[in-house]
Amino acid sequence: MTLITSPESILDITTAAMQSTENERLKTLIISLTTHLHQFVLENQLTELEFEKALQFIVGIGQATGKNTNEVVLAADILGVSSLVSTINNLDLDGGSYAALLGPFWRKNAPLCAWGENISRSNLGGQPIEVRGCIYDEFKKPIAGAIVDVWHSSPVGFYENQDDQQVDMNLRGRFETNERGEFFFTSIRPAGYPVPTNGPCGELLRAQKRHPNRPAHIHFMISKPGYKVLITQVFDSTDTNLDSDPVFGVSKQLVGEYRTDAVSGVCQLNHSFVLQAGEMVFPAPPIP
Ligand code: BEZ
Ligand code: FE
C-alpha cells in the first residue's frame, strides 16, 4: 500500500488507482486530466476557499441549465474550450477551419423548408435578408442533397426559445442543396446579442471585465451521409464586436459580407462552405 508522503505524491497514488480502467481512451483522458488538475492546484497553491468556490461554480452551471439554456455549454464556450475543440477537429487542407462552436441554442428537427422559404414566421419587423451559398467537397466539387440547417437570433438579439414574441421554431429551418450544391433562404437580419449573463458564467465575465456581446451571426449545420457534419457560424462583417466575441468563435474564413442592396434595401449574404469526407455524426442538442 502506498501512503501519502508529500503533496506531490498524491498524484502518483491517484493515477495508480486508475490503471485498471478497461477503456484505453478513458484511461488516458482521465489520467491526463487528473495530472493537469494536480499540477494546477500545486502551481497555484489553491486555497480551501478557492477550491470551494470552484466546486460551487461547477454545481452552479449544472443548476442553471434547464429547458431553454445550457450553462455548462456556455462555460466551455467562454473559456475558449468549445472553440478549441471545434478547430482542432475540423482543420482543412490549408490548416484553416470552416467550423465554429455549436453554442447552446441548436434545436433538432427544425422545419424542412422549400427553396428560398422565409424562416421569419413571426411579425418582428427588421431588415429582410437573403442568404445564398454553395456546399463543396474538398476538391471543389458541389455537393447536391446536403441539408443546411440554419438558426439565428431576431433583430433585437433573441433566439425563439428565449422570446415570447416568437412562434416555436421561428428563425430556424433546414434547406436541401440543389444539383449544383446551392442553397437559398430568406429571413430577417439577425442582431448581435449578449450570451446569458444571469448565471455563474455572467458572474465570471463581470469579474473579468469582459462584455457579453456576440457579434451578429447566422448558425449553420451542414450534413450529408459520407461527410463530417460541419457546424459553423457566419459573422456580420459590419459588427464592431468581431474581435471581442465572448466565446471566441470568429475566424477570418467566417466573416461574411452582409451587403445591403441599395435599391431594394434587402441585406444579401453569399457564403459557401467545404465539407470534409467522413462519418456523419450529429451532436446531442444542447436544448430540446
Ligand atoms: C450562440 O451563438 O448561439 C451562442 C454561443 C455561445 C454562447 C451563447 C450563445
Ligand atoms: Fe448564436
Is 195 a pocket residue for ligand 1 (Cβ < 6 Å)? yes
Distance of CA 174 from the midpoint of ligand 2 (Å): 16
Using most ligand atoms within 8 A of CB, pick from 65, 102, 195 the residue to mutate for ligand 1: 195
Distance of CA 252 from the midpoint of ligand 2 (Å): 17
Residue 152 confidence (pLDDT): 98
Residue 286 confidence (pLDDT): 82
CA pair distance 246, 202, nearest whole angstrom: 11
Q: Could you identify the atom of ligand 1 that is nearest to the CA of residue 196?
A: 8
Distance of CA 14 from the midpoint of ligand 2 (Å): 40
Residue 66 confidence (pLDDT): 86
Is 247 a pocket residue for ligand 1 (Cβ < 6 Å)? yes
Nearest residue CA, atom 8 of ligand 1?
195
Q: Could you identify the atom of ligand 1 that is nearest to the CA of residue 159?
A: 3
Q: Cell numbers 455572467 label which residue?
A: 202
Residue 251 confidence (pLDDT): 92
Is 104 a pocket residue for ligand 1 (Cβ < 6 Å)? yes
Domains and CATH numbers, the chain: 1-46 (no CATH), 71-274 (2.60.130.10)
Residue 11: Cβ-neighbour burial (10 angstroms; 0-12, 13-18, 19+):
middle
pLDDT tens string, the chain, 288 residues long: the values are 689 999 999 999 999 999 999 999 999 999 999 999 999 999 999 999 999 999 999 999 999 998 878 899 999 999 999 999 999 998 877 766 789 999 889 999 999 999 999 999 999 999 999 999 999 999 999 999 999 999 999 999 999 998 999 999 999 999 999 999 999 999 999 999 999 999 999 999 999 999 999 999 999 999 999 999 999 999 999 999 999 999 999 999 899 999 999 999 999 999 999 999 999 999 999 877
